[in-house]
Amino acid sequence: MKKNLALLLTAVLTAAAIAGCGSAAPTQGAPAPEAKEEAAEPAEEAKEEAAEEAPAEESTGAYVFLDEDLGVESYAIGFRKGDDELAEQVSGAVKALVANGTYAEIGEKYPDIKDYLCLDAADIDTASLPEEGSGDSSYTFKHGFDLDYPPYSYLQDDGTVGGFDVELCQAVCEYLGWGYEAVPFNWDAKDMELNAGSCDCIWSGFTKEGREDDYTWGLTYSNNTQGILVAADSGIKTLADLEGKIVGVQTATSAYDMLEDSQADLAATFSELRVYETYTIAFNDLKAGAIDAIAIDMTAGSFLIAGENK
């Protein structure tokens, strides 16, 4: 009897769970994952050909950025308010690395970033820069960064900490004769980490815009553009096409800030703006077709696309 009761209970609950799924996840319109690689529906294809001058380009990647962007931002090194001397010393060292070519050399290793590096050796005035080895050799510079922000700072394929920002910071420490200490933190807790002194700077694709008064800023060493990433066969070609679509974004990023602030009118046309903990999950959702687009900066987005094509 107990057994029958148990079977009945589980059967009812399983049925309820399945019914719940069924109503929420329509299976009839489900696009199979292979559908993305195959040609789009005939009607859609015709529409795309009319709008797109080079449909052949579509097949090169399953995910593309829209031509229109959301805005440009600059990445700089953030120090505690009042740490002017440290900011100046580090910025000076970065300039020296630009002048001696190390900056461009590191940039070569990160093709997604290369085009966004904004410092040029020709523009550097080498007269007032700190000399090599001029720093206090007993000092250890604590580099605070998000370990989940490729290609600026992330876990490399070999399991070590790396990325453009990490390598540049290490080069700065080496140049000045300082010790280097990596302080990977939770991005949400960056201000607490900095104020508590567990790191000396926030340096990991850190956007200056909108935060001008919150930190003492070092050198702006890279620019970035915020864009919209979509599946190539989605039929979304312009920002206006995003009307009524579900767009994903990572929490506490400049893409998110732009959609809340300068691009709030655009965000209002979305059917939903979905906020994720990491872009990795958002990208999985895009692949699965649960969302239509991702608002993301070009370098991080290119990194995701590159990973997909690997």
Contact residues for other proteins, defined by CB under 8 A: 1-3, 5-6, 9-10, 13, 16-17, 20-21, 24-27, 29-34, 187-188, 190-192, 211, 214, 248, 251-252, 256-257, 260, 274-277, 281-282, 284-285, 287-290
DSSP 155-218: E-TTSSEESHHHHHHHHHHHHHT-EEEEEEE-GGGHHHHHHHTS-SEE-SS-B-TT-TTTSEEE
Do 90 and 77 form a contact (C-beta atoms < 8 A)? Answer: yes
Helix (H, G, I), strand (E, B) or coil at 97: helix
- The structure tokens listed for 254 are 């400049």
Nearer to other proteins, 120 or 277 (CB): 277
Q: Rounded to the nearest whole angstrom, what is the least distance from the CB of residue 289 to other proteins in the complex?
A: 6
Q: Rounded to the nearest whole angstrom, what is the least distance from the CB of residue 93 to other proteins in the complex?
A: 27
Nearer to other proteins, 167 or 200 (CB): 200
Do 84 and 215 form a contact (C-beta atoms < 8 A)? Answer: no
Nearer to other proteins, 51 or 252 (CB): 252
Nearer to other proteins, 121 or 183 (CB): 183
* Residue 29 dihedral angles phi and psi, to the nearest 5°: -95, 15
Nearer to other proteins, 94 or 194 (CB): 194
Q: Rounded to the nearest whole angstrom, what is the least distance from the CB of residue 39 to other proteins in the complex?
A: 18
Q: Rounded to the nearest whole angstrom, what is the least distance from the CB of residue 304 to other proteins in the complex?
A: 16
Do 227 and 298 form a contact (C-beta atoms < 8 A)? Answer: yes
Q: Rounded to the nearest whole angstrom, what is the least distance from the CB of residue 247 to other proteins in the complex?
A: 12
Q: Rounded to the nearest whole angstrom, what is the least distance from the CB of residue 61 to other proteins in the complex?
A: 20
Cβ neighbors of 174 (< 8 A, separation 6 or more) are: 180
- The structure tokens listed for 142 are 């604590």
Which letter, b or e, does each residue of 206-240 get, where b requires 16 or more Cβ atoms within 10 Å of its Cβ? Answer: bbbbeeeeebbbbbbbbbbbbbbbbbbbbbbbebe
Q: Rounded to the nearest whole angstrom, what is the least distance from the CB of residue 1 to other proteins in the complex?
A: 5
Nearer to other proteins, 113 or 249 (CB): 249
Number of H helices, E strands in the chain: 11, 12
